[in-house]
C-alpha cells in the first residue's frame, strides 16, 4: 500500500505541466467561487444593516390595524404604560415614539403621496441614522417654525431645497381636511432611494396639535442592546400588551430576515456548478493520462501488479492533485476575503442601481467559517467521485493489448 501511494505521488509530478494546470484551475475555481459568494453576502449584510438603522430598528409596536391603511385613528393602545414598561426594561437601549400619517405633500411643482413621521427629535438623533445621512441643511437644530426633513429623492421630485416651503394635506382624526406648511430644514440621502422618496420627518409637537388625543402614538420603535434579544423583548411586550402588535425587524421585513437562508442556497448551487465544471476538467485530464499511459499500465499489469493496486494508484493520483489544490485555494480565498472584509470594495460605478434595492456602494466581503468547511467537504466528495472514472478505465485495460499500443 505504501509503495502504491508513493508511486501515485511521483506520478503526479511526472507530467508537471498537466498537474499544474489541474491545480491552478482548482485553486482559481475555488477562489473565484468563494470570493463571489463572500461579496454577495457582504452586499446583503450591508443592505440588512442599513435597513435596520434607517427604518426597521429592532422591535416596533403598532396598533394591529395600523399596518394596512396607516389609519390615523389606529393608535397604540395605552401608550403611557407601554412607554413606562420599555423605559424600565433592561434589554432596551433606546426607543422613540412617533406619529405617522399618510399625506399628500405638494409644492407648485407637483404632489406626491408620502408618510409624514412626527418624531421626538432629540431622541431620534441617537436612534435612527437619518441624522447621519443629512446631505444638505441640518437635522432639527432650528427651533423656529415647523421644520421638515425630506429625502433627496423627494426633493428632486418636487424641486425642493432647504428653506423652501412644503405643504402637507391630510384628513385628521376628526375627519376634517388639514393643510400644514412646513419649511425644509434638511435633506437626507440613505442607501434606499424608495425610502427617501416616501418619508418625511417633522417634530412630533408640530403634529400633535391636530389631534384631539394628545397622547396619540402610531409607532414605538425600540433598539435593543443586542439585536439577538429582539425576539425575547417581543415576547415580553406582546404578553404584557395583547392589544398592540409587537414585531421584530424580521417580522416586519421577512424578505430581509431570510436573505441568509437564500444565500446558503445560492452558495451551494453556485459552487456545485463550479465544481461540476472543475470535476469535468479533472476527469478528462485523468482519463487522457490513463490512455496516454496505456503501454506503461499494460506493462505493470503483465509483470504482476494486481487490479486493485492499479485502481488505487490512479485513484490516489487524482486525490493527491485535489489535496494540493484544496488547501491552497481555501487559504487564498481566506486571505483575500479577510483583506477585503477590512478594506472594502468600492462599487460606486453601479451604485445608483444598488440604491434602488437599498444597498450601499461599499462592500465588505464576508464568509463565515462553516462555509469553508462545507466547500471542503463538497470538493472532497466531488474529487472522490471524479477520481473513480479514470481509475475504472484503467481496470478495463487488457494487458496484452495495451502493451502493443503506440
Partner 1 sequence: MLIKIAWRNVWRNKRRSFITIAAIFIAIFLAILMRSLQLGMYENMIKNVVGSFSGYVQLHSKGYWEDKNINNSFEVSESVLNSINKIEGVSNIIKRVQTGVLSSNNKLSKFLYVTGIEQEAEEKLTDWNKRLIDGTLLDDNGQSIIVAKGVAKYYDAKVGDSLIFIGQGYHGMQAVGIYPIQGVIDMKNPNLNNMSVFMSLKSAQDFVSAENRITNLVIDKEQYFDEVKIAEKVKSKIDIQSRDVMTWKEMTPQLDQLIEADNAGGILIILILYMIVSFGIFGTVLMMTQERLYEFGVLISIGMKKSKLMITLIYETIFLTFVGVLVGFVISRPIVNYFHYNPLKLFRAAADQLESAGFEPVIPFMNTYDIPLVHGFIIILISLITCIYPIIIISKLQPIKAMKR
* Binding-site ranges for partner 1 (CB under 8 A): 15, 17-18, 21-22, 24-25, 28-29, 32-33, 36, 40, 68-69, 71-73, 102-104, 109-114, 159, 169-171, 173, 175, 177, 193, 253-255, 258-259, 261-262, 265, 270, 273-274, 276-278, 280-281, 284-285, 287-289, 291-292, 295, 347, 350, 352-357, 406
Residue 111: helix, strand or coil by DSSP? strand
Q: CB of residue 18 vs partner 1: minimum separation in angstroms?
A: 6
Q: CB of residue 40 vs partner 1: minimum separation in angstroms?
A: 7
Which string of b and e fits 304-320 if b means at least 16 CB within 10 Å?
ebeeebbbbbbbbbbbb
Ramachandran sector of residue 18 (left: φ over 0; alpha: ψ -120 to 50; beta: rest): alpha
Residue number with CB closer to partner 1 (138 or 169): 169
Torsion of CA 30, 33, 36, 42, to 10 degrees: -70
Residue 215: helix, strand or coil by DSSP? coil
Residue number with CB closer to partner 1 (20 or 240): 20
Q: CB of residue 73 vs partner 1: minimum separation in angstroms?
A: 7
Residue number with CB closer to partner 1 (231 or 284): 284
Q: CB of residue 311 vs partner 1: minimum separation in angstroms?
A: 19
Q: CB of residue 86 vs partner 1: minimum separation in angstroms?
A: 29
Residue number with CB closer to partner 1 (31 or 241): 31
Q: CB of residue 302 vs partner 1: minimum separation in angstroms?
A: 16
Q: What is the CA radius of gyration of the chain?
A: 32
What letter does residue 269 receive in the DSSP assignment? H
Q: CB of residue 21 vs partner 1: minimum separation in angstroms?
A: 5
Assess contact for 157 and 141: CB atoms under 8 A: no
Assess contact for 359 and 191: CB atoms under 8 A: yes
Residue number with CB closer to partner 1 (142 or 260): 260
Assess contact for 152 and 189: CB atoms under 8 A: yes
Q: CB of residue 391 vs partner 1: minimum separation in angstroms?
A: 15
Q: How many CA atoms lie within 13 A of 271 on its CB side?
A: 25
Assess contact for 317 and 17: CB atoms under 8 A: no
Task: Using alpha carbons, select from 92, 95, 90, 91 the residue that is nearest to residue 76.
Answer: 95
Residue number with CB closer to partner 1 (24 or 138): 24
The residues facing 60 across adjacent strands are 221, 247
Distance CA 374, CA 396 (A): 34
CA separation, residue 212 to residues 61, 72, 80, 222, 298 (Å): 21, 12, 16, 26, 98
Assess contact for 365 and 340: CB atoms under 8 A: yes
Q: CB of residue 179 vs partner 1: minimum separation in angstroms?
A: 10
Assess contact for 133 and 124: CB atoms under 8 A: no
Amino acid at each position: 500500500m505504501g509503495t502504491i501511494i508513493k508511486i501515485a505521488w511521483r506520478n503526479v509530478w511526472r507530467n508537471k505541466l498537466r498537474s499544474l494546470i489541474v491545480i491552478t484551475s482548482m485553486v482559481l475555481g475555488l477562489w473565484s467561487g468563494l470570493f463571489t459568494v463572500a461579496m454577495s453576502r457582504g452586499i446583503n449584510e450591508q443592505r440588512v444593516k442599513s435597513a435596520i438603522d434607517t427604518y426597521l430598528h429592532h422591535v416596533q409596536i403598532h396598533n394591529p390595524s395600523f399596518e394596512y391603511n396607516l389609519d390615523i385613528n389606529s393608535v397604540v393602545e395605552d401608550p403611557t404604560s407601554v412607554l413606562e414598561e420599555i423605559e424600565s426594561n433592561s434589554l432596551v437601549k433606546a426607543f422613540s415614539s412617533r406619529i405617522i400619517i399618510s399625506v399628500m405633500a405638494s409644492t407648485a411643482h407637483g404632489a406626491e403621496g408620502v408618510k409624514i413621521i412626527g418624531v421626538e427629535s432629540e431622541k431620534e438623533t441617537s436612534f435612527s441614522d437619518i441624522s447621519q445621512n443629512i446631505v444638505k441643511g441640518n437635522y432639527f437644530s432650528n427651533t423656529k417654525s415647523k421644520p421638515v426633513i425630506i429625502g433627496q429623492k423627494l426633493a428632486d421630485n418636487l424641486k425642493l431645497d432647504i428653506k423652501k416651503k412644503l405643504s402637507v394635506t391630510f384628513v385628521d382624526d376628526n375627519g376634517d381636511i388639514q393643510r400644514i406648511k412646513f419649511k425644509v430644514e434638511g435633506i437626507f440621502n440613505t442607501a434606499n432611494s424608495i425610502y427617501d422618496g416616501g418619508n418625511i420627518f417633522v417634530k412630533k409637537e408640530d403634529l400633535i396639535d391636530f389631534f384631539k388625543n394628545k397622547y396619540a402614538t402610531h409607532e414605538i420603535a425600540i433598539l435593543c442592546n443586542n439585536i439577538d434579544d429582539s425576539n425575547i423583548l417581543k415576547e415580553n411586550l406582546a404578553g404584557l400588551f395583547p392589544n398592540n402588535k409587537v414585531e421584530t425587524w424580521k417580522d416586519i421585513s421577512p424578505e430581509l430576515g431570510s436573505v441568509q437562508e437564500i444565500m446558503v442556497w445560492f452558495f451551494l448551487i453556485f459552487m456545485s456548478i463550479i465544481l461540476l465544471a472543475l470535476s469535468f476538467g479533472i476527469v478528462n485530464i485523468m482519463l487522457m493520462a490513463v490512455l496516454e499511459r496505456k503501454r506503461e499500465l499494460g506493462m505493470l499489469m503483465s509483470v504482476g501488479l494486481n487490479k486493485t493496486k492499479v485502481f488505487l494508484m490512479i485513484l490516489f493520483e487524482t486525490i493527491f492533485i485535489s489535496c494540493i489544490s484544496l488547501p491552497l485555494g481555501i487559504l487564498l480565498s481566506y486571505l483575500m476575503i479577510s483583506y477585503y472584509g477590512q478594506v472594502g470594495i468600492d462599487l460606486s460605478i453601479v451604485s445608483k442601481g444598488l440604491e434602488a434595492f437599498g444597498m450601499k456602494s461599499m462592500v465588505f466581503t464576508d464568509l463565515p467559517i462553516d462555509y469553508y468547511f462545507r466547500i471542503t467537504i463538497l470538493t472532497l466528495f466531488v474529487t472522490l467521485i471524479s477520481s473513480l472514472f479514470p481509475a475504472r478505465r484503467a481496470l478495463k485495460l487488457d494487458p496484452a493489448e495495451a502493451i502493443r499500443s503506440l
